[in-house]
Amino acid sequence: MLIVLLAFRNIVGAGLRTWLNVFVLSVAFLAIVWNQGFINGMAEQMMKEMVDTELGGGQYWHRAYDPYDPLTLEDARGSLPAPLADLVSAGKAAAVLIASGAIFPEGRLQTTLLKGIEPGQRIVNIPSASLEAGEGDPIPALIGARMARQTRLKVGDTVTIRWRDMHGTFDAADIRIVHIMNTNVPSVDSGQVWLPLARLREMLQAPGQATLLVLKKQTVSVASGDPRWVYRDLDYLLKEVREIIKNKSVGSSIFYLLLLGMALLAVFDGQVLAVFRRHKEIGTLMALGMPRGTVIGLFTLEGALHGVMAVLVGALYGIPLLVYSAHKGMAVPEIAGNMGVAVSSTLYPSYGLGLVVGTTLVVLAAVTVVSFLPTRRISKLKPTDVMRGKLA
């Protein structure tokens, strides 16, 4: 306890130099927590949006389906086996049929994906209820806000679409835009037109067929009983999102190292200066019988206390800033929504206990190590030499 009190007295007695080191360390600590909090918040928001709007509790894919290769769509459809059809009947899954097509807004040709979904489904957060309509034409259609901007379509507009059925015959029909949905998930919006599932099956002459099946959240998967249908869990479906977040975290780590390195350099220089300027104190303590290890521990503890004080000072002005940022969030440029990731217009950070505790331990460990390095030379000094100022 005496050593702790002595170390605290020494660093407080250093005055402005101590508080400058503490402030720089606190800024580094707060910046790491703040930046990583936004990365964690982005990851949570992206995954939640995708699960709610597109992925559900997992999906069954037709074996030939490749979401990045539209040329496979003609072969990537088939009838649902009995176990999967039972899930649809029980309201635990929703079938989606996907086909390549073209749309002609204002006479311009634009390729698109035609997606059929049951209007009454409650599996994913898509306003498919707006697709409820009679058998007449034009066919009701649902598009997203991005697609509306791309095609300059609005609710009530009628436009022509073209497709090829499963027998290779091209056909065309008019659709009427009945709803424009606002979603943060580009993969259900950009370049896509949603139609009633029954109408799309009729158009493609593919009765009872689907491309994929979306499970309701927290629904246990079942064996499909058909090798053509493959189950994709959320780990598989969210793999790319996790890779994006991982790469983002790695890039941010470089920023963390630079910021923390500058703060640690100040502590290191301070410790070197302390050992040089306080040689008489070191020699006196050693001459009075204090073990070399204790003297080294005293100087190391002084440096480590910089980290403790930095955490406390950082908490004083950091907690209000973090609370404010968590409440207000950070506006995301509109262009980010066109990059293929589910990012909302406002990004809210996530400051978990693990993030705060982990960052605190990393900062304290780094400060302790940096504080110990300049004090190692004390173990090789003789008390008489130190008191004469001979430190080499």
Cβ neighbors of 358 (< 8 A, separation 6 or more) are none
Q: 164: how many CB neighbours lie within 10 A of its CB? A: 16
| Confidence grade of residue 212 (pLDDT, cut at 50, 70, 90) | very high
pLDDT (tens digit per residue) in 190-199: 889 999 999 9
CA distance 301 to 313: 18
For residue 215, pLDDT over 90 is answered with: yes
Q: Please give the helix or strand (H or E) that residue 256 lies within, else none.
A: helix 239-277
Q: In angstroms, rounded to a whole number, what is the distance separating the alpha carbons of residues 60 and 106? A: 37
Given a contact cutoff of 8 angstroms between Cβ atoms, the answer to whether 306 and 367 are in contact is yes
CA distances to 169, 274, 295 from 289, in Å: 98, 21, 10
pLDDT band at 38 (very low <50, low <70, confident <90, very high): confident
Task: Give the per-residue pLDDT at 357.
Answer: 86
Asked if the model's pLDDT at residue 392 lies above 60, the reply is: no
Q: What confidence tens digit (pLDDT) does each residue in 165-175 have?
A: 888 889 999 99
pLDDT of res. 171: 92
